[in-house]
Structure 1
Amino acid sequence: MGRWRVVEQLGVGGQGAVYRVEDIDRPGDFYALKLALYARDGRAEREVALMMTRAAHPHVVRFHGCARWPHPRKGWLGFVMDWVPGLALDVWAEKDGTTFRQLATVGATMARTLGELHDRGVLHRDLKPEHILIRESDGQPVLLDFGVAWYEGAAPLTTGPLPPATLFQLSPEAVSFLWRSSERPGTHYAFQSTDDLYALGICLYRATTGHYPFSEWLPLDMLQLAIVHVQPLAPVLVNPRVPRALSDVIVRLLAKNPAERYPSGAALDAALVAALSNEDAAWDASIFEWEEVPPTQEGGTPERHLLRPPRPKPSWTAPPPAPVQVERQSHGFRSLVLATAVLLLLLPMARVPPVAPGVHAPDEEWVTDVRVDPEPSRYEQAPLPARNQKLAPCTEGLEVELSGACWLSLRQRPPECPRQTVTYKGQCLLPVPKSRPVPTSVDGGTPDAK
């Protein structure tokens, strides 16, 4: 494509595909090329304009130029950026040796970066762990993918009430607006800087606990209800290794009321820096516990396996809407209330008051104020799906369904499992990859949109 030789595909999102490319004029110099999936795509053109101007920042992937393919004027728009070798935030956090101090430092840098972008009138609007890469060369975070970003003066492109978004990263106020949108057709949600900071809180929760506050596998209606009505467990209750000060910051980031969150990226940066000043030894501990597994063959090297905490079960912070109000709502809202009854059966009924940042409650209170299932044996915990793994429904008679994903049960049995597999209930399970890439962000659409 022009002066760029395509080497390999790196990923596909809702609006574009990303490739690693080599500069033909300078062999050995590699970059990332993002190519729009649709010709004359207004979002791609807006992203190029943004990357060239207001989004230029030391912690934002750097822009190098653009071109069209296959026709230089009528083809699909593509633009070239730095290729950043490194790991996504959640994957990096699960790397052996990554500490809470390193994570909090990365979080502070991202908070400061977002704050500076917000001051320029730029909103990312699709922040998630895979859009924060930890650069391999220096450990610095780099923010990626401004495909659905917005800036002051940008042409509006959203057709539904919400911009394209990753559903389990939406803020409570965005979901509440979506519910009300059927009463006001044609209205669009005014995304705020607090939405970006809430999404950063989701990213930090995932990095510190190994889980999202609300399972990404929940049905859409139930996920929306959880975001609005359910208080996630504090990270320290999910992973006791988390420093209390860091847990407090994340709890405040995920407050249901945006006015209770940090007002700006600069304020969040200051809070994380202050938390880091604590001399608690937990800051320099590995984020997750690891176990050493003996080698399967004599003379082999022992392997270290991550022990992810069990998935949290949060509790309701507010009762579901009263039936008398439901009768006056749309069919879409009634379906949400019906899902409420199902969610109430799945979640503990104890009401958990939010833990205010800076309040150091005794450990006994943190344990007894919540209801959680007994911790399962670490060896019997169902494996979590891998990235790009095929989700249920699975092929009957061939694949095994666990944690909402598909696995192949191999003939080998523990301890003879290959490296790419996981061990569960005496089986070696191999993740089944997706047959084709799927969009990572979807249009929020209407309340009934799936």
Structure 2
Amino acid sequence: MSTPSSPDRSGEAFIETSSIDEQGNVIDAPARPSIVPAPGMVVAGTYRVERELGRGGMGVVYRARDTWLDRTVALKLIVPTWDDMLAEQKLQHEAKALATLRDQHVVQVYAFGRHGSSYFFAMEYVEGRSLEAILDDYQQRKSLLPQHRALTILGRIADGLDAAHARGIVHRDVKPGNIVIEEDTGRPVLIDFGLAQQSTDPNPETIEGTPLYMAPEQAGFGAHGITVGPWSDLYALGCVAFQLLTGSTPYPMRNMVHLLQAHQRAPVPLASSVHPELAPFDAVLARALAKNPADRYPSCGAFARDLVRVGSPKAAAAPSSEAPPPSTRQPGESSLRPLRVLAVDDDPAFGKFAAKAAELALKGRSVRIRVARSGQAALDAAREEPPDLLLLDLDMPDLDGVDTLSHLRALPRGDHARVVVLSGRVGPQERWKFAVLGVREFVAKPIDLRRLVDTIDGIVERAGWGAAPTA
């Protein structure tokens, strides 16, 4: 959300009070009143500001502490550029609509109110990295995001968008910078609904969003009577999909005028023109990026399902012939659901060692532990019973740790599992490969039992597993 120092603004959000010069460059509007709460300042008598997280066209986001409920929140302060009751009522309606939205792949809004001349949203704080930052890492290494993981992320965000659209909410700024991959779980979360507005808004011609991902009707200021709506978010998701699969946005132009014109009139590029092996995706992406909203998919979910249909690998799709690993139940289980632990290692002795560490770390809790000797057996076990904690070996035949976790994350409740990667190689390369999968804990082999137990203890504390989970 920070403003780049480069004059290139094609990847940055802007609003209608910006203008464009003859060369196609954005001219900044007069600065809005600054919002600079000092750390320690309390907003609305409840939210103690800790530090700034980022800023954009609509305001500033801070990490804050809810002093009543003792939890960390993301606090967005918005300085209005309008001074009329209708606009204020619109923002209040938007806040109410967002507060009713409950989807694990959309950031949750807790509260909305006024603070002086500003408004604030208190939202779920998602600790992790933006998909934009992760893509930058891949670009620096001249590599592409693993296709299976890319399709999973797109599917999860599509689910979140469909849930928002069902409540009349249009995001209007879907892009990698507004998608966070949660640390510990790998859960993709769509954030920053600061540009969102209800799809029935009476003034939908506002040009708001990020030009690299902007639908033709958004880029054209509502030209030809086509307004911004859920179909515009679908187009933006199509741009994100094109980027995740090819490494480039559909129209990678630096000139703003040319970029907006390309979204409105230029032929839809083919993914296969960038990477020939992506030819199966051409028709699916072309439909999502159609100039006329009527020619696009009826929903984001329908688009994501077609992506998976043409792109999902067959390997690991069907259960293996190997029997699912047996579980062990600890004495004294409570009536709550046991904590599910899955240890995966092709060395059976080491798998049992990892399971023993889990027993020690989770002593006194209701626990069910399974040991799998291959990535495929782990996926079979996860289909049958999604794990809460995964102790995963990196170096395994057939499906290695990265492939195994990528497939597991795509399963129902696959974004739920916390993971510890166990490997003789724990360096920057390994950490980079697992970052998009939401892994923060690595333990090097040969493993010290005490260190592994301490690592699991840390996960238990962060996850709030003082008692066994109930669902």
CA distance in 1, matches of 2:77, 2:188: 23
TM-score of the pair, normalised by structure 1: 0.53
Amino acid at match of 1:168: L
Instruction: Report whether the alignment pairs 1:11 with 2:58.
Output: no
Instruction: Report whether the alignment pairs 1:33 with 2:70.
Output: no
Amino acid at match of 1:84: V
Match of 1:201 among 232, 238, 242: 238
Amino acid at match of 1:45: Q
Match of 1:218 among 230, 241, 255: 255
Q: Deviations over 1:113-148 (max 9, x none)?
A: 222332332222222221222222221221112223
Match of 1:233 in 2: 269
Q: Deviations over 1:18-73 (max 9, x none)?
A: 1001233566x3210011123876364343222222x3322211122234324xxx
For the 8 Å contact 1:131–1:144, the answer to whether it is kept is yes
Instruction: Decide whether aligned partners of structure 1 residues 80 and 233 sit closer, same or farther in structure 2, where only a CA change above 3 A counts.
Output: same
CA distance in 2, matches of 1:112, 1:135: 17
Instruction: Report whether the alignment pairs 1:120 with 2:167.
Output: yes
Give 1:228 deviation, angstroms. 2.4
Give 1:250 deviation, angstroms. 2.3
CA distance in 1, matches of 2:94, 2:57: 14
Q: Deviations over 1:390-444 (max 9, x none)?
A: xxxxxxxxxxxxxxxxxxxxxxxxxxxxxxxxxxxxxxxxxxxxxxxxxxxxxxx
Which aligned pairs between 1:4-403 and structure 2 lie closer than 5 A?
4-25=47-68, 29-38=71-80, 42=88, 44-53=91-100, 55-70=101-116, 75-93=117-135, 95=137, 98-151=145-198, 154=201, 156=202, 161-176=205-220, 178=222, 189-220=226-257, 222-239=258-275, 243-279=278-314
For the 8 Å contact 1:148–1:163, the answer to whether it is kept is no
For the 8 Å contact 1:93–1:208, the answer to whether it is kept is no
Amino acid at match of 1:91: A
Q: Deviations over 1:56-101 (max 9, x none)?
A: 322211122234324xxxx422121111112222333455695211
CA distance in 2, matches of 1:94, 1:120: 33
CA distance in 2, matches of 1:80, 1:31: 6
Instruction: Decide whether aligned partners of structure 1 residues 120 and 64 sit closer, same or farther in structure 2, where only a CA change above 3 A counts.
Output: closer
For the 8 Å contact 1:123–1:151, the answer to whether it is kept is yes
CA RMSD, aligned part only? 3.6
* Partner SS, residue 50 of structure 2: strand
Amino acid at match of 1:65: A
CA distance in 2, matches of 1:26, 1:120: 27
* Partner SS, residue 121 of structure 2: strand
For the 8 Å contact 1:90–1:206, the answer to whether it is kept is no
Q: Which has the higher helix share?
A: 2
Amino acid at match of 2:289: L
CA distance in 2, matches of 1:237, 1:253: 17
For the 8 Å contact 1:235–1:247, the answer to whether it is kept is yes
Question: Equivalent pairs: percent with the same residue?
Answer: 32
CA distance in 2, matches of 1:134, 1:224: 29
* Partner SS, residue 231 of structure 1: coil
Count how many residue pairs are aligned between Structure 1 and Structure 2.
275
CA distance in 1, matches of 2:282, 2:137: 20
CA distance in 2, matches of 1:251, 1:153: 27
For the 8 Å contact 2:208–2:218, the answer to whether it is kept is no
* Partner SS, residue 268 of structure 1: helix
Give 1:260 deviation, angstroms. 3.1
For the 8 Å contact 1:64–1:79, the answer to whether it is kept is yes
Q: Deviations over 1:193-225 (max 9, x none)?
A: 2211111011112222332221252132x2222
CA distance in 1, matches of 2:428, 2:218: 47
Instruction: Decide whether aligned partners of structure 1 residues 140 and 8 sit closer, same or farther in structure 2, where only a CA change above 3 A counts.
Output: same
* Partner SS, residue 157 of structure 2: helix
* Partner SS, residue 147 of structure 1: helix
For the 8 Å contact 2:170–2:199, the answer to whether it is kept is no
Answer 1 or 2: higher relative contact order, Cα 8 Å, separation at least 6. Answer: 1
CA distance in 2, matches of 1:193, 1:163: 15
CA distance in 1, matches of 2:216, 2:80: 31
Instruction: Decide whether aligned partners of structure 1 residues 18 and 169 sit closer, same or farther in structure 2, where only a CA change above 3 A counts.
Output: same
Amino acid at match of 2:288: L
Instruction: Decide whether aligned partners of structure 1 residues 5 and 138 sit closer, same or farther in structure 2, where only a CA change above 3 A counts.
Output: same
Which aligned pairs between 1:424-443 and structure 2 lie closer than 5 A?
none
Amino acid at match of 1:17: V
CA distance in 2, matches of 1:30, 1:147: 19
